[in-house]
Amino acid sequence: MQKIAEKRVRPFIGDHPTIDERFLIHSTGAGHTLLAGTVMGRKDGKTGPWVATATPLGILMEDVAVPAAGDAWAPFYTHCEAIADGLVWADGVSAADQQTAIADLRKLGIFVR
C-alpha cells in the first residue's frame, strides 16, 4: 500500500454549511492512497477519482487508503462550497474537463469558487 510521502495541506472547502455521504471506493487491483479534496466520480458502476467519462459524485473529505484486494468506504462532500485551487484531480484530467466536472458538480450542490 502506498504511503503519503508529503501531504499537501491546502484548504479545499469554504464556509458554507456542508452535507456529506459515504461511498464505497472500488479497488483498482493495486493499493493506492487518495488525498482529501480529490474530485470523485462513478464510471461503469465503479467509484473512484473523476475522469472525463465519469459522472461526478462529490469531493473526498479525508485521505483514504484503498487496498489492492478490497474496497474502502469514505465520506464525500455532496453539498458544499469548494475552493478550486485546493481540489485534487486525477492524472490526465485537462483544464477543459475540469470545467465540465465543475459545472456538473454545481448541479449536485457543490459550488466551486
What is the value of pTM for the model shown? 0.86
Q: What are phi and psi of 95, to 5 degrees?
A: -60, -40
103 class by beta-carbon count within 10 Å (0-12 exposed, 13-18 middle, 19+ buried): exposed
Superfamily for the 19-112 domain: Head decoration protein D (2.40.300.10)
Mean pLDDT of the chain: 89
Contacts of 57 (CB under 8 A, 6+ apart): 23, 40, 41, 42, 47, 50, 76, 78, 108
Q: Tell me whether residue 86 is exposed, middle or buried, using C-beta atoms within 10 angstroms of its C-beta: 0 to 12, 13 to 18, 19 or more.
A: middle
Distance, in Å, from the CA atom of 33 to the CA atom of 41, rounded to the nearest integer, reads: 16
Grid cell for residue 89: 484531480
Domain locations along the chain: 19-112
pLDDT, one tens digit per residue, over 65-113 is 999 998 999 999 999 999 999 999 999 999 999 999 999 999 999 999 9
Residue 5 binned pLDDT confidence (cut-offs 50, 70, 90): very low
